[in-house]
Amino acid sequence: MIPPADAELLQDFLTGTLADTDVRLVEFRLKNEPLLAEALVLLAREEALLTEWARSMAAVDSADAARYDAISDKTSPQRLPRVKVWVRAFVAAASLLALLGAGLSLLPTRAPAVALYAWLEEVQGEVFVGTLTARSHHPLQLGDEVRTSGELSFAVLRYPDGTRLTLGSDSVLRLEQAEQGVQGKRLFLSEGYVHADVAHQPAEQPMILATRQAQVRVVGTRFSSSAGDQGTRIELEEGRIQVSSAGKSLDVQKVGSVVDVAEPVRPMEKPEEIQPRFLSWQPLPPPLTTPRLTLPRGEGPIQGLKFAPLNALLAVGGWKGTVQVWDADAGVLLRSWDTQLKRTRCLDWSNDGSLIATGGDDKTAKIWDAHTGQLLWTLPEAPRGPGKPPRFNRDIDAVAFSPDSSVLAVAAEIRRSEPPVAGDITLWNPRTGAMTGRLAGHKDSILCVAFTPDGKQLVSGSRDGTLRVWDLETQTEVAALACGEPVLTLACSPDGKTLATGGRERSIRLWDVPTRQLRIALQGHPREVRSLAFTPDGKRLASSGRDPSIRVWDVESGKPVAHYQGHSFAVTSVAFSPDGRTLATAGWDKLVKLWDVRE
């Protein structure tokens, strides 16, 4: 019997909805209370059993679900059988059984037979399903993204009906849910090459292969398609396909026909209309591996890095809650202070050099005197007298000073498993600690904010996949741009003409600020992009992310011009010194490295 209070606590612990401090408390208790540890394992088993049961029932109950859907929502998408979760985990062992001739007689008899949606029949080279390295026989589900990496890589996808798709090297293919009311296979080839040998599909359930520029509708035939930079090419080998693009449709029947579809030029204002105009995989220059200086290893991973505006002083924040100020030229620690945070999540230095703001996991933002480390304001300000001090209802993910240092913008996080609440940005007077405004509109937590250099606008990026531009005088939203992925980081060029964003899908996007059009989408980081910084002249952009490499790009051409390697884990922060000669980088390996920037 688990006491109800503990059951709730452990449930929240398992689903990741506890604050970090509470997580540490539960872990402490787990080490000291054997019964609590048993209760946690019991609840974890329950989660496993519920998942297994639900996935097996999803197929068995599909008829009931369809009936329920018909009553409650006639527009809900059709539910398809899903792969049981243990299939993936036990594919090696189960295939052994089959090889031994033991058949499936040893499988639990109550397990319903659920057909695989699709699987990888053969792979060569580096092939990934999502972030997992894939081997032959890897089962695939709706929503899976298959990615091949490297010149000699390929993957063969098979469907139970015999349809076979061969994905060429450096290609990305996603298995998508068919449109509402339409059954059948739907695939999205975002880049690369695919050869399709499609078994006959019912006329009302055609297979759809979509690219950024076109859609191919197939009933049963052989064809190939390559997609990428600025267009899509489709070559018909046999049978008949229908190609549609930008509202026009073309019936292709002649064997050997080649159809080229160029990237349409569209207005970029509305989120759903945004399409990247250019994607590139560029060869990297040889890596530079020797930094000018590596600062002594810190106590914890580092998550905030910012140069003072006029000199080579560097502020560093991290998981242990200490802020340090270093002389980046000499490598000397000038001062440090304890923020009373378990973890500093973000940090900014005001342009007049006098203030440093931090945000962390205690649901407050703090403003410090940069010269003395004295705490000036805790936001929201605690009331005088007894009572619980007010706090943001989330941890703070981003803080930014306006160029004239008169406004501090604070963004906060909504914890992932909580019901989503619209993300807010609050504006504060850093001299008085008074709140001066609130910008609301994002549908999920805000992960990054930046002021435009003229100080008239604020740009915010969110987990909701949008980038929003706010007018500070009227405190209203003036534009919303869709990025199609959570926006984890952004940076504004010093001339205010270019905005760079980085996100979960590994790409870096450069937006033209006056027209609000996407100019270039750069690809190269193998994992998500976490930090971006422009050089003071705005010609170069440094990027880092979940992989240990740091890249520097030419903003005009989109080509990588430098490549640094020296960290062991994710690089969470990059920053250029005001003279542009030093690039500071820091990350989970607890190290700050200072690199000489070369032309």
Partner 1 sequence: MKKSALRQGMVARLLMQHRTTLYGYIFSCVRNHADTEDILQTVCVVVTESIEQLTNEAGFLPWVREIARRRILAYRRTGRREQPLDPDVVRELADAAERLEEKLPASDQATALTACLEALPPRSRQLIIMRYDGGTSAEDLSRRFGRSVQGIYAQIKRIKAALRTCVERRLQTEGAS
**Binding to partner 1, residues 118-177 (CB under 8 A):** 132, 142-143
> Is residue 58 a contact point for partner 1 (CB under 8 A)?
yes
Residue 187 CB, nearest distance to partner 1 (Å)? 18
Residue 536 and residue 553: Cα distance in Å, rounded? 14
Least spacing, CB of residue 199 vs partner 1, in Å = 25
3-class DSSP state of 67: helix
For partner 1, the closer of residues 85 and 250 by Cβ is: 85
Beta-bridge partner residues of 174? 145, 188
Residue 7 engages partner 1 in binding (rule: CB under 8 A): yes
Nearest alpha carbon to residue 184 among 145, 166, 210: 210
**CB-count exposure of residue 283 (10 Å: 0-12, 13-18, 19+):** exposed
Structure tokens of 36? 């609590």
Sole binder of partner 1 in the list 25, 97, 480, 482 (CB under 8 A): 97
Q: Which residues pair with 38 in a beta bridge?
A: none
CA-nearest of 379, 399, 402 to 389 is 379
Q: Which is nearer to partner 1, 319 or 392 (CB)?
A: 319
Q: Footprint of partner 1 on residues 474-533 (CB under 8 A)?
A: none
49 touches partner 1 by CB under 8 A: yes
Q: Stretches 98-106, 257-265, 464-472, 483-491: which one binds partner 1 (CB under 8 A)?
A: 98-106
**Interface pick for partner 1 out of 3, 66, 70, 106 (rule CB under 8 A):** 106
Q: Residue 301 and residue 305: Cα distance in Å, rounded?
A: 12
Q: What is the DSSP string of 555-596?
A: TTT--EEEEEE--SS-EEEEEE-TTSSEEEEEETTS-EEEEE
Contact segment (CB under 8 A) with partner 1 among 4-12, 162-170, 465-473, 488-496 equals 4-12
Q: Rule CB under 8 A: choose which of 19, 37, 250, 480 binds partner 1.
A: 37
Can residue 297 be called a binding residue for partner 1 (CB under 8 A)? no
Query: Contact between 38 and partner 1 (CB under 8 A)?
Result: yes
Closest distance to partner 1 from the beta carbon of 269 (Å): 25
Q: Which of residues 382-441 bind partner 1 (CB under 8 A)?
A: 419-420
Question: How far, in whole angstroms, is CA 114 from its chain's centroid?
Answer: 32
What are the φ and ψ backbone dihedral angles of 251, each rounded to 5 degrees? -90, 120
**61 touching partner 1, by CB under 8 A:** yes
**Distance in Å, CB of 88 to partner 1, minimum:** 6
34 belongs to the binding site for partner 1 (CB under 8 A): yes
Tell me, letter by letter, the H, E, C secondary structure of 423-444: EEEEEEECCCCEEEEEEEEECC
Q: What strands, in cross-sheet order, belong to the sheet with 507-512?
A: 279-281, 517-523, 507-512, 498-503, 487-492
CB of 36 to partner 1, least distance (A): 9
**What is the spatial distance between Cα 517 and Cα 536, in angstroms, rounded to a whole number?**
23
The side-by-side arrangement of strands in the sheet containing 434-442 is 396-401, 408-412, 423-429, 434-442
Q: Which stretch binds partner 1 (CB under 8 A): 29-37, 215-223, 279-287, 391-399?
A: 29-37
Instruction: Output 72 or 474, the one with its CB closest to partner 1.
Output: 72
The residue range among 154-162, 353-361, 508-516, 568-576 that interacts with partner 1, by the rule CB under 8 A, is: 568-576
Cβ closest to partner 1, residue 341 vs residue 541:
341
Site for partner 1 in 571-590 (CB under 8 A): 588
- CB of 418 or CB of 512, closer to partner 1: 418
In angstroms, the Cα distances linking 489 to 26, 148, 393, 483, 523 are 31, 26, 22, 12, 15
Q: How big is the site for partner 1, counted in residues (CB under 8 A)?
A: 71
Q: How many residues appear in the chain?
A: 599
Residue choice 27, 338, 495, 537 for contact with partner 1 (CB under 8 A): 27
Q: Which of 19, 69, 149, 242 is the binder for partner 1 (CB under 8 A)? A: 69
Shorter beta-carbon distance to partner 1: residue 100 or 332: 100
Residue closer to partner 1 (CB basis): 143 or 383: 143
Does residue 76 touch partner 1 according to CB under 8 A? yes
Cβ nearer to partner 1, comparing 104 with 334: 104
Query: Which helix H or strand E contains 72, and what residues bound it?
Result: helix 62-72
Count the neighbouring beta carbons within 10 Å of the beta carbon of residue 202: 10
Q: Supply the minimum distance, in Å, between the C-beta of residue 45 and partner 1.
A: 3
Rounded to whole angstroms, how far apart are CA atoms 15 and 62?
27
- List of E strands, 115-269: 118-129, 132-133, 139-140, 145-158, 164-167, 172-176, 186-197, 207-210, 215-218, 222-228, 231-238, 241-245, 248-252, 258-262
Q: Which is nearer to partner 1, 51 or 253 (CB)?
A: 51
**Residue 349 Cβ vs partner 1, minimum distance, rounded to whole Å:** 25
**Binding of residue 352 to partner 1 (CB under 8 A):** no
Rule CB under 8 A: choose which of 50, 66, 265, 333 binds partner 1.
50
Query: Pick from 16, 160, 383, 389: which binds partner 1 (CB under 8 A)?
Result: 16
CB neighbour burial string for 96-113, b if at least 16 within 10 angstroms, e if fewer: eeeeeeeeeeeeeeeeee
Nearer to partner 1, 80 or 284 (CB): 80
Residue 337 contacts partner 1 per CB under 8 A: no
- Interface residue with partner 1, options 19, 25, 65, 480 (CB under 8 A): 65
Q: Are 321 and 338 in contact (CB under 8 A)?
A: yes
Neighbours of 154 (CB within 10 A): 19
Q: Does 14 bind partner 1 (CB under 8 A)?
A: yes
Among 31, 270, 297, 438, binds partner 1 (CB under 8 A): 31
- Examine residue 42 and tell whether it contacts partner 1 (CB under 8 A): yes
**Among the listed residues 360, 312, 367, the one whose alpha carbon sits nearest the alpha carbon of residue 340:** 360
Q: How far is the CB of 474 from partner 1 (least distance, A)?
A: 30
Q: Which two tokens stand for residue 181?
A: 């009311």
Q: Which is nearer to partner 1, 191 or 505 (CB)?
A: 505
Does residue 5 interact with partner 1 by CB under 8 A?
Answer: no
* Complete DSSP assignment for 328-357: TTTTEEEEEEE-S-S-EEEEEE-TTSSEEE
Using CA atoms, how far apart are residues 525 and 504, in angstroms rounded to an integer? 10
Among 64, 229, 537, 596, binds partner 1 (CB under 8 A): 64
Q: Would you count residue 25 as binding partner 1 (CB under 8 A)?
A: no
d(CA 85, CA 516): 43
Q: In this structure, what token pair is assigned to residue 61?
A: 């109950």
Q: Which of 73, 272, 473, 599 binds partner 1 (CB under 8 A)?
A: 73
